[in-house]
A and B are shown apart, each in its own frame.
Chain A
Amino acid sequence: MGMREEVDVITAACKNKDIHVLFENNIDSMLKSTSDVWDFIKEYYNETRQIPDKNLIATRFRDFEPSNDSGPTIYHVNRLKETFLDESLRSTVKKAAQLLQDNESNKALSSLNSDISSLSRITAKVRDIDVTDVDDAIAYFDKQREAAMNGDVGIRSNIASFDVCLPMGISKGQLGVLLAYPAIGKSWLALYFAVQAWKNGRTPMILSLEMTEQEVRNRIFAIIGDGKWSHRALSSGRVNQDEFKAWAKENLEGKPPFKIISNDGGSEVNPNVVRAKIDQYKPDIVFIDYLQLMTDNSGSSQNETVKIKNLSRELKLLAISEQIPVVAIASATPDDASDLESVPQLGQVAWSRQIAYDADWVLAMGRKANSDALEVAFRKNRHGFLGDFVMVADFDKGKFSEVYDPSDDST
Chain B
Amino acid sequence: MTADKAKLAYIFLNNYAKLYEKKYNIKPNINKYKEKWAAVSIIEDYQLDQIDKALEYYFTLQKEGHPLAWFYNNVDTIISTLKEKERDERLRLERRKETAKLRKEYLNGNA
A-side residues, CB < 8 A to B, are: 160-161, 163-165, 167, 334-343, 345, 375, 377, 385-390, 402, 405, 407-411
B34 located at the interface, meaning its Cβ lies under 8 Å from any Cβ of chain A in the complex:
no
Closest residue of A by beta carbon distance from B95? A388
A377 touching B95 by the CB < 8 A rule? yes
- Interface contact B62-A340, CB-CB below 8 Å: yes
| Cβ-based interface call for B100 (8 A) | yes
Q: Is the CB of A410 within 8 A of B101?
A: yes
Contacts of A409 in B (CB 8 A): 97
CB distance from A74 to the nearest CB of B (A): 43
Within the complex, which residue of B74, B96, B99 is in contact with A164, where a contact is CB–CB below 8 Å? B99
Top 4 nearest A-B pairs by Cβ distance?
Answer: A388-B95, A164-B106, A387-B99, A337-B81
Residues of B within 8 A of A339 (CB): 57, 60-62
Question: What interface size band does chain B fall in?
Answer: 20 to 34
In the bound complex, what is the Cα–Cα distance between A389 and B78 (angstroms)?
A: 26
Report the nearest A residue to B91, measured CB to CB: A388
Task: Choose from B60, B92, B99, B103 the contact partner of A341 (Cβ within 8 Å).
Answer: B60
A337-B99 in contact (CB<8A): no
Q: Are A164 and B62 interface neighbours, CB within 8 A?
A: no
- The interface residues of chain A lying within 8 Å CB-to-CB of B62 are 334, 339-340
The reply to whether B81 and A338 form a contact with Cβ atoms under 8 Å apart is yes
- In the complex, are the beta carbons of B100 and A405 less than 8 A apart? yes
For A338, the chain B residues whose CB sits under 8 A away are 61, 81
Cβ of B3 under 8 Å from chain A: no
Q: Which residue of A lies closest to B61 (CB)?
A: A339
Q: Is B102 part of the binding interface, using a Cβ–Cβ cutoff of 8 Å? A: yes
Q: Given that A336-B77, A388-B92, A388-B96 are known contacts, is A161 also in contact with B101, CB under 8 Å in the complex?
A: no
Interface check B53, CB cutoff 8 A: no
B104 at the binding interface (Cβ < 8 Å): yes
6 contacts between A and B (CB under 8 A): A164-B105, A335-B81, A336-B74, A337-B61, A337-B77, A408-B96
By beta carbon, the residue of chain B nearest A378 is B95
Docked CA distance A130–B99 (Å)? 34
B21 located at the interface, meaning its Cβ lies under 8 Å from any Cβ of chain A in the complex: no
Query: Does B52 lie at the interface of the complex (its beta carbon under 8 Å from any beta carbon of A)?
Result: no
Indicate if the CB atoms of A385 and B96 lie closer than 8 Å: no
1/0 per position for B70-111, CB-CB distance to A under 8 A? Answer: 000010011001000100100011011111111111110001
CA distance A345 to B87 in the complex (A): 12
A375-B99 Cα distance, complex, nearest whole Å: 13
